Each structure stands twice: as structure tokens, then as C-alpha cells.
Structure 1
């Protein structure tokens, strides 16, 4: 993974490009819904926390720890949220997709699944990785259902895994998709985006 490369991924539904400080104003329109951040590790639902979120994402990219993307709805042209690659381990040919949030108006529209399609294609086809992991708070039933609908396999729960907002320790559910599963998923769950 080249963190210095300005990677742009696109299908007919969504465009992913590197998240940048200039996205602040556009993201304010979708980020300031406290419900979006209920189960996340941090918040970005006001001016200060959104600025801190974008700054932390940019710093993590510069440090080679995370590759944050802006999610752009190709139908409306609007910025809809953000997602990232992280926990990238080239020696093991695996990475994680997460830090994902999508504004309420864009939920249940297929936008998130279209973004996951791009990230999975890049991970399995361009990077030639063997495993993609996804994590969610065990309380986040909506996220778990979305992961199952896209064909990810639930692997288990890491109990009292990490601190989340307000120093609450969360249990983290781990899901994955592996290379032998990808071809069938891209032609079923993700078929509408795989042109």
C-alpha cells in the first residue's frame, strides 16, 4: 500500500478519493447527526470533533497507518461520508476496512455497498491480498447486518477489546471476506457494481 499515492476508485455509483482538510465544509452537512457516531470509537458531530477527525485521519495516512477516503455519491455529486483502509499487513496479505460512516440521507441507498465493492476489488485484485477484515461494536446491530448482507463471515467477538467514546470498553465483532470467496460475492452481492 502506497500511502503517498492519491488513490481514486470509482464505479457507476460512488467515487472514493483521499480525504482532505478541504472536505470539512461539505462533510458538515452530513456529519452533524449524533446518531451516526453512537457506536464509533470517536465522534465528529460538531465543528471541533469533525476538524479533529479529519486531522487525525490525515496524520494517520502520513504515518502509514490508515488510508482515509472521502465517499462521493456519483448521482448527486455530494460528499456522503468517509471510509478507510487500516491495519494493513503486507506480509500477511491482509487489511481492514473501517472508520466508515455515511450520512443518514445516503444510508440504505446502496452507496456503502458500492464503496465496499471498490475497496474489496482493490484489495483482492490490485493488491492481491488474501483477507479483508471488518470490525464493529457488538452493540451495533445495523452494522453487523450490513456486513452479513455483503457476504462477510462473522468470526467471533473480541471481548472488552478497546476503549470507545467516554472511556467505555467495547466488545468488537470481527467479520471477514477471504480471496476464495471474492469471485462469487462480486458476481452476486456486488454484481450491480461489477461492470
Structure 2
């Protein structure tokens, strides 16, 4: 079974649930997505209902057509949708993929939701799919995201200049990070450090 099919599954622990995107997620996603701060470093912008409709329809289409595996992130403490994350640029032949297209609503930032979600995605990539490399990229100006990637133990690899256009008209420099299979045990330990014990398998 191809990676994109095997990755299209629900991932969860005691804190978050990541489920493949569906039409039923539209209203709950809209409730947290209409915050301009989310989109500061994105290559798309959501500033109106029309923008959101275009964004969400693109997510559904990308997921349906296998360009990405798009997950809706739910905070299990509240039962509310917290944001979205994806697997993309999947190259099964090369045993690598990217985790990205990630955002969370303002009330969920700094709460541990991101760390739990990234742990689930990395664990599934390395332990279930058999990835040798998981990569991330972000805007070189997004210092918060870059610090977060460094903090979990991802390695900064370099910057691709003038990588793509932004809604503001500037061209973004994209900085790449990665975690390799041999590094996963250390990164997993970092991601789970300090957690309260959860149920078996969490």
C-alpha cells in the first residue's frame, strides 16, 4: 500500500487527535482560521470568507488527489478543532517526506498541542511508514517556527533563496530543517519530556 494511503489514518494520544480532513471539518476550522496572525508567514492568506473557502477547498482537493495528506488537529481537552497539519512532498522511493502546512488557532499556541501533534506525525513517519528522513521548511523570517524546530532537535540545513512568492509581493527565502531516522529516538525523547503519564500507547 502506498505511503499516502498508509498515512491517511487517525493519529492520537491523550492530548490531541489528528484525523484526515473532511467536509465536516469546514465550520470548526473556520472558527479558528479567521485570525490574520496565523497567515503571516504562509504563502496564502485567509482574510475573508472567500479566502477561507478557497483555502479549505484546496486542502480537500490536495488530500483527495494525493498531493498531501491533510490532518485536522483536534484538542481532546475541549473537543474543538485547533488547526491543521500535513504530510507533503512524499517521496516513498527516497524514503522521505515533509511535515508542514502547519497552523494552530491562537488559543492553542504554547499549550503543548503542537508538540503532541508533531510527535504523532514524526512517530508515524519513522515507525510505521519507514521514513529515513523527515523535512520541514519555513520562512527565514519566522523566528518562532525556527526556534521551535531547533528545540525539538531538528537540524537546520540551509536556505533556498527567493523560493516562492508571498501575498505581500516579497519573495520568501525558505530555510530547511530535517530529522533523520538515526536521530528519531533523541527527538522523541525531547518531544515527550515532562509529559504527564497518559493511557497505554499514548
- The two structures have a TM-score, normalised by structure 2, of 0.91
Q: Is the 8 A contact 2:21 2:63 kept in 1?
A: no
Go from structure 1 to structure 2 and tell me whether the alpha carbon gap of 1:3 and 1:163 turns closer, same or farther (over 3 Å shift).
farther
Residue matched to 1:147: 149
| Pick aligned residue for 2:176 from 162, 174, 177 | 174
User: Whole-Å Cα distance in 2 between the matches of residues 59 and 131 of structure 1?
Assistant: 26
Does 2:98 align with 1:96? yes
Cα shift at 1:6: 4.5
* SS of alignment partner, residue 2 of structure 1: helix
Go from structure 1 to structure 2 and tell me whether the alpha carbon gap of 1:178 and 1:6 turns closer, same or farther (over 3 Å shift).
closer
Q: Is the 8 A contact 2:7 2:129 kept in 1?
A: no
User: Whole-Å Cα distance in 1 between the matches of residues 53 and 74 of structure 2?
Assistant: 19
Residue matched to 2:29: 27
- The two structures have a TM-score, normalised by structure 1, of 0.94
Deviation larger for 123-132 or 59-68:
59-68
Does 2:134 align with 1:132? yes
Residue matched to 2:40: 38
Q: What's the C-alpha RMSD, in Å, of the aligned pairs? A: 1.7
Residues 1-195 of structure 1 correspond to what in structure 2 (within 5 A)? 1-3=3-5, 6-191=8-193, 192=195, 195=202
**Structure 2: stretches of 5+ with no match in the other structure:** none
Q: Deviation per CA, 1:68-115, whole angstroms, max 9, x where unpaired?
A: 100000111110000000000001100000000000100000101100
* SS of alignment partner, residue 191 of structure 2: coil
Deviation larger for 136-145 or 182-191:
182-191
**Structure 1: stretches of 5+ with no match in the other structure:** none
User: Whole-Å Cα distance in 2 between the matches of residues 95 and 6 of structure 1?
Assistant: 14
Go from structure 1 to structure 2 and tell me whether the alpha carbon gap of 1:5 and 1:172 turns closer, same or farther (over 3 Å shift).
closer
Q: Is the 8 A contact 2:68 2:87 kept in 1?
A: yes
